[in-house]
C-alpha cells in the first residue's frame, strides 16, 4: 500500500513538473512572439523613412543635418533590431524619435513641403507606425513581466533553473524620451 501511495505521489509530482515546464515554454514563446511583433512594425517604419527623407531632400535648402540625424538614428535602430538587443533598441528609439520630432518641426518652415501630399502621407504613416510600436512595446513588456515573475517564483524557479529558462530584459526608454517636451524650444528657431 505504501508503495502505491509513493508511486501516486511521484506521478502527481511528475505531472505537476511537466505542467510547470510547459507553462514556462509557453511564456518563453509569448515573449518571442511579442518581440517579433515589434520587429515587424520597426521594419515597416525602417522601410518608410527613406521615402520621407527623399521627399525632404527634394527641397533644395532643407536642413541636411536634420536628415543626417534621422539617417544615423535609423541605422542604430536597425542594428539593435537585427541583434535583438533590447537595451540598445530602447536608446536608439529615443534618438530616432527625437530626430523625427526635429524633422517634423523643421518641416513647418517649408510651406512647399507641408503642402506636399507625399510628405503628408508619409508623416501620417510614420505617426501611425509610432503608435503601433508603442502598443507593441507595452505588450512585449507585459509578456516579459509575466515570464520574469514565473521564472523567479517558487516552485517554477526549480524547473526554470533545471531547464535554463531565464529572465528577459524589459524594453525601457531613454530618459530623454520620458522627459517633458520643451515646447518653447521647438518654436524658438
Each residue's pLDDT tens digit, 29-64: 999 999 999 999 999 999 999 998 888 888 767 778
Each residue's pLDDT tens digit, 74-87: 999 999 999 989 88
Q: Could you tell me the pTM of the whole model?
A: 0.79
Q: Which residues of 12-47 are buried (b: 16+ CB within 10 A; e: fewer)?
A: eeeeeeeebbeebeebbebbeebbebbbebbeebbe
CB atoms closer than 10 angstroms to residue 175: 9
Distance of CA 129 to the CA centre of its chain: 12
With a cut of 70, list the residues of the chain below it in pLDDT.
60, 174-189
For 2-187, CATH gives 1.20.1440.20
Amino acid at each position: 500500500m505504501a508503495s502505491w501511495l509513493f508511486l501516486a505521489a511521484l506521478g502527481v509530482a511528475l505531472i505537476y513538473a511537466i505542467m510547470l515546464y510547459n507553462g514556462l515554454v509557453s511564456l518563453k514563446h509569448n515573449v518571442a512572439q511579442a518581440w517579433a511583433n515589434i520587429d515587424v512594425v520597426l521594419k515597416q517604419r525602417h522601410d518608410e523613412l527613406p521615402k520621407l527623407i527623399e521627399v525632404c531632400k527634394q527641397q533644395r535648402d532643407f536642413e541636411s543635418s536634420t536628415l543626417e540625424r534621422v539617417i544615423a538614428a535609423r541605422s542604430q535602430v536597425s542594428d539593435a533590431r537585427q541583434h535583438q538587443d533590447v537595451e540598445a533598441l530602447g536608446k536608439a528609439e529615443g534618438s530616432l524619435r527625437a530626430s523625427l520630432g526635429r524633422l517634423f518641426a523643421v518641416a513647418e518652415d517649408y510651406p512647399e513641403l507641408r503642402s506636399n501630399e507625399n510628405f503628408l502621407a508619409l508623416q501620417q504613416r510614420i505617426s501611425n507606425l509610432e503608435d503601433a510600436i508603442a502598443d507593441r512595446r507595452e505588450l512585449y513588456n507585459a509578456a516579459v513581466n509575466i515570464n520574469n515573475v514565473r521564472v523567479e517564483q517558487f516552485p517554477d524557479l526549480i524547473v526554470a533553473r533545471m531547464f535554463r529558462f531565464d529572465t528577459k530584459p524589459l524594453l525601457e526608454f531613454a530618459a530623454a524620451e520620458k522627459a517633458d517636451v520643451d515646447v518653447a524650444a521647438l518654436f524658438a528657431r
